[in-house]
């Protein structure tokens, strides 16, 4: 199997973290170019939307969308990153992490793909408001879900916070979120997080 990935993509990083956490070293990770304005032809053939990650399986069609791939990899390894006893909470936590990534990526693409004179400041502010609300929700009501054995919600949030550090460190997401910042500092030391840090 092959995982189409990019080192800076937080969505692909989720999948790479799962591979390491579950010991699936038989999956080849391939860096490809993805871009909303075009991208790698092989990636586009695997995933019609042209987005990463995409997982080429030895048998069966390619899988895409990070949440589909992580569920597949978790099932393949029998690793219980989606524990049945907390399934809905873990899925919601993972969705919160994905929402942070989507909004942060929206800001990144606006800055990368449009000339500076066409940047839309209101767009930046609206996307950051979504991120801030999500971070505040994590700080105020989701910390119990971030504790305990590693699960996919924790991985998703960890990758989202790492992406904020990579692309939006000037926004200082840690300000006023001491509990979440302390959790992130510890979680980022997991070997899988260290190995996949962009």
pLDDT in tens, 118-138: 998 999 999 999 999 999 999
What's the pTM value of the predicted model, to 2 decimals?
0.95
- For the chain, how many helices (H) and strands (E)? 8, 6
The structural domains of the chain, with segments of one domain joined by +, span 2-77, 84-196
Q: Which of 13, 19, 49 is nearest to 34 (CA)?
A: 49
Q: How far apart are the first and last CA of the chain?
A: 23
Pairwise CA distance, residues 91 & 160, whole Å: 15
pLDDT in tens, 74-129: 999 999 999 999 999 999 999 999 999 999 999 999 888 889 999 989 999 999 99
| Architecture in CATH for domain 2-77 | 3-Layer(aba) Sandwich (3.40)
Determine the Cα–Cα distance for residues 130 and 127; give it in Å rounded to an integer. Answer: 5
Distance CA 186, CA 198 (A): 17
The rounded distance, in Å, linking the Cα atoms of 50 and 33 is 9
CB 55 within 8 A of CB 64: yes
Q: Which residues pair with 4 in a beta bridge?
A: 30, 54
Q: Which tokens go with 143? A: 């910390």
Separation between Cα atoms, residue 57 and residue 10, nearest integer Å:
21
Is the C-alpha dihedral spanning 91, 92, 95, 97 positive or negative? negative
The reply to whether 84-196 shares the fold of 2-77 is: no
Nearest to 50 by CA among 62, 61, 37: 37
3-state SS class at 182: helix
Radius of gyration of the chain (CA): 17
* 2-47 tens-digit pLDDT: 999 999 999 999 999 999 999 999 999 999 988 777 778 888 888 8
Q: Which class does domain 84-196 fall in?
A: mainly alpha
> Is residue 188 over pLDDT 90?
yes
Buried b (16+ CB within 10 A) or exposed e, 39-59: bbeebbebbeebbbbbbbeee
């Amino acid at each position: 199997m092959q995982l189409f990935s990019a080192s800076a993509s937080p969505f692909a990083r989720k999948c790479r973290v799962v591979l390491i956490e579950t010991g699936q070293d038989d999956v080849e990770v391939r860096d490809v170019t993805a871009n909303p304005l075009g991208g790698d032809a092989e990636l586009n053939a695997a995933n019609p939307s042209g987005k990463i990650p995409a997982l080429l399986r030895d048998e069966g069609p390619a899988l895409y969308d990070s949440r589909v791939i992580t569920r597949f990899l978790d099932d393949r390894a029998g690793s219980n990153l989606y524990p049945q006893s907390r399934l809905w909470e873990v899925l919601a936590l993972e969705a919160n992490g994905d929402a942070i990534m989507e909004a942060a990526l929206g800001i990144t693409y606006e800055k990368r793909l449009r000339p500076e004179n066409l940047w839309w400041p209101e767009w930046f502010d609206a996307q950051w408001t979504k991120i801030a609300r999500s971070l505040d929700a994590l700080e105020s009501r989701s910390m119990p879900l971030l504790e305990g054995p590693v699960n996919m919600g924790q991985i998703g949030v960890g990758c989202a916070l790492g992406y904020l550090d990579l692309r939006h460190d000037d926004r200082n997401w840690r300000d006023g979120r001491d509990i979440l910042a302390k959790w992130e500092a510890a979680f980022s030391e997991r070997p899988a997080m260290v190995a996949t840090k962009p």
